[in-house]
Amino acid sequence: MAVRSRFQQLRSEWSRTFPPNLARLMLLGCAALWGGSYLVAKFAIAAIPPQWLMGIRVLGACACMLLLFHRSILPALRPAIIVPALVSGVTYWGTMVTQTIGLQTIDPGRSAFLTAAYCVLTPFASWLVTRTRPGMVNLVAAVICLAGVGFVSLKNGGSLSLAVGDWLTIGTSVIFAFNLTFLGVYAKRFHPIAVTWVQFLVAGVLFVAGALLTEPMPDAGWLEPGVVVAFLYLFLGATMTAQIMQNIGLAHVPPSQASIIMCTESLFAVGFSAVFWGERITWNSIVGFSLIFAAVLLSILGRRRRD
C-alpha cells in the first residue's frame, strides 16, 4: 500500500508540474522522428521482413527502457495495468503491422498521407471511448490539416487509386486513432514510460509470434552496415524515444490537439525525402505546409475552449 500511495503521489506531482508547451514540443519531435522512419523503414524492409523488423525493434526498446527507467516502470507493474497493456499493445501491433506491410507496396509519401487520416478520425474515436464530443474547432483544424498533408504527399498529376497496400494503410489510420485515444486515457492513470513499456512488451510478443508463423527466419543480409544503421534509427529513435515523447505529451495535451500536431510527421517525411533523396519540392508541397501550419495554429488557439 505504501508503494502504491507513493507512486500515485509521484504521478500526481508529475501531472501538475510538467509544462504543457514542452509536451507539445515533444509531440512535434515525435512527429519528426516518425517522419524520418518512412524512408528508413522502406529501406530496411527490403532486407528484413516486416514483423521480424518490428518484433526486434520493440522488444529491444523494452530491454533498453527497463534498464534505463526501471524505477518508473517496476512500481506500475501491478494487476491494474494488465488491461491497459493489452489494449494499447494490441492496437499498437495492429497499427504497425498494417503500416509496415502496406509500405512494401506503396511510396513513403503516399503512406504518410493515408496514415495521417488518423488526425480526422481521433476525435470520433475519443468520442466513442471517453464520451467526449469533438469540438468544432478541432474538427475544422483536422480537416484543414488533412488537406495540407494531401497537398504535401501528392505527386504531380497523381490520383488516389486504392490498392491492397493503400487499404492496409487506411486500416493503420483507423487503429491508430483508437491507440492514440487509449494512450491518452492510460497515460493519465499510470506513468507514461510504464505505459509505453507494457505496450511494447505486448506488441513485441505479437510481432515475434506473427513472424515465426508467417515469415522466413533471419539471415546474414540483416547484418549489412546500412541495414544495421537503419535498424538502430528505427529502434532507438522512431520506437523508444518517439513513443516515450508521445505518451508524455498525451498525458498533458488533449487527444484531438495531439493528433493534429503529430500528423505533421507527413511534412517531415516529405522534407527528409527532399534532403536525403533529392525529391523536388513542388507547389503542392508549399501549399501543404501552409495548410498544416494553419491547422496547428488553429488547434492551439482553440485549446482553451477544448480544455
Render pLDDT for 25-51 as a digit per residue (tens, 0 to 9).
999 999 999 899 888 888 888 888 889
> What single-letter amino acid sits at 91?
T
Average pLDDT over residues 289-307: 66
The pLDDT value given to residue 87: 94
Query: Considering only CA atoms, which of 56, 98, 85, 262 is closest in space to residue 190?
Result: 85
Cell (9 digits) for 300: 492551439
Mean pLDDT of all residues in 82-100:
92
Q: What is the pLDDT of residue 136?
A: 83
- CA 290 centroid distance within chain: 23
pLDDT at residue number 17: 67
Q: Between 102 and 294, name the one with better pLDDT.
A: 102
Grade residue 271 by pLDDT with cuts at 50, 70 and 90. confident
23's grid cell: 509536451
Q: How far apart are CA 34 and CA 263, in angstroms?
A: 10
If you average pLDDT over residues 187-203, what whole number do you get?
Answer: 88
From residue 117, how far is each of 9, 16, 101, 112, 248 by CA, in Å?
A: 37, 32, 18, 9, 22
What would the grid cell of residue 105 be? 507496396
Please choose, from the candidates 207, 200, 170, the residue with its C-alpha nearest in 3D space to the C-alpha of residue 183. Answer: 200
pLDDT digits (tens, 9 = 90+) for 171-193: 998 899 899 889 888 878 888 88
Could you read off the pLDDT of 43-86 as tens digits, one per residue?
Answer: 888 888 889 988 988 898 889 889 988 888 999 888 989 998 99
Report pLDDT for 1. Answer: 43
Give pLDDT, residue 89. 93
Does the pLDDT at position 14 exceed 70?
no
Between 41-55, 119-133, 276-290, the lowest mean confidence (pLDDT) is in 276-290
Instruction: Give the residue among 55, 152, 159 at the shortest CA–CA distance from 112.
Output: 152
Q: Do the beta carbons of residue 277 and residue 134 sit within 8 Å?
A: no
Dihedral, CA of residue 14, residue 19, residue 174 and residue 279, to nearest 10: -130
Q: What percent of the chain has pLDDT over 90?
A: 15
Q: Report whether pLDDT(206) > 90.
A: yes
Residue 132 has pLDDT above 70, yes or no: yes
Among candidates 201, 176, 174, which has minimal Cα distance to 81? Answer: 201
Distances (CA, A) of 204 to 34, 177, 275: 18, 20, 32
> Residue 250 is placed in which grid cell?
498525451
pLDDT at 7: 44
Residue 139, judged by CB atoms within 10 A of its CB (0-12, 13-18, 19+), counts as middle
pLDDT at residue 285 is higher than 70: no
Mean pLDDT for all residues in the chain: 80
Q: Is the pLDDT of residue 6 over 50?
A: no
Supply 69's cell numbers.
527507467
- Cβ contact 62:197 at 8 Å: yes
In the 8-state DSSP scheme, what is residue 133? P
